Amino acid sequence: MSKDMKALEKKLGNTMGEFKKFILKGNIIDMAVGVIIGGAFSKIVTSLVNDILMPALGAVTGGASFNTLKYVIRPAVLDGAGNEVTAEAAILYGSFIQNIVDFLIIGLCMFFMVKAIAMVTARFRHEEEQKEAPAPAGPTAEELLAEIRDLLKEQKETV
């Protein structure tokens, strides 16, 4: 085997070792779990927006469906049989509005989740500090007696 191949193998081995350490860190696993839960949460929010909020908003706005809102730049071209020859060119701003609502709801939910987690974490930290911090030790009987003796000495000297 050539010298270059051995150097490449060594470099690849080192890189794979570093990758293994990187992957097995707890932070990466936590992040992967977060991404998976985030994907599932995104589906729930999308369903909330598409199936509950947008129909309710459509009812308030007179039955307008946001998914169908668009600005047609160039209409579709049909042949004599009614088949589409050239597709329509349109700006689908209704879909964009719906995605903005999705984003705002996800952002609001994440804000409240982070706020709740911070409150719980702060409470646990406070409880741990309460447990860890022992009550300040008062002076012992000997220390009190020594202090009284010293005060009496000072009082005698000043008289």
Q: Domain for residue 98, yes or no? A: yes
Q: Beta 77-78 vs 84-86: how paired, if at all?
A: antiparallel
Taking the whole predicted model, whether its pTM rises above 0.75 is answered as no
What is the residue-level pLDDT of the chain in tens, covering all 159 positions?
577 777 767 777 777 777 777 767 667 777 788 888 888 888 888 888 778 877 787 788 777 677 778 899 998 888 888 888 888 899 988 888 888 887 888 788 778 888 888 888 888 777 777 776 666 777 888 888 888 888 888 888 876
Three-state DSSP state, 71: strand
- Provide the domain count of the chain: 1
Between CA 25 and CA 63 the distance in angstroms is 52
Q: Domain for residue 141, yes or no? A: no
Q: Domain range holding 43?
A: 3-133
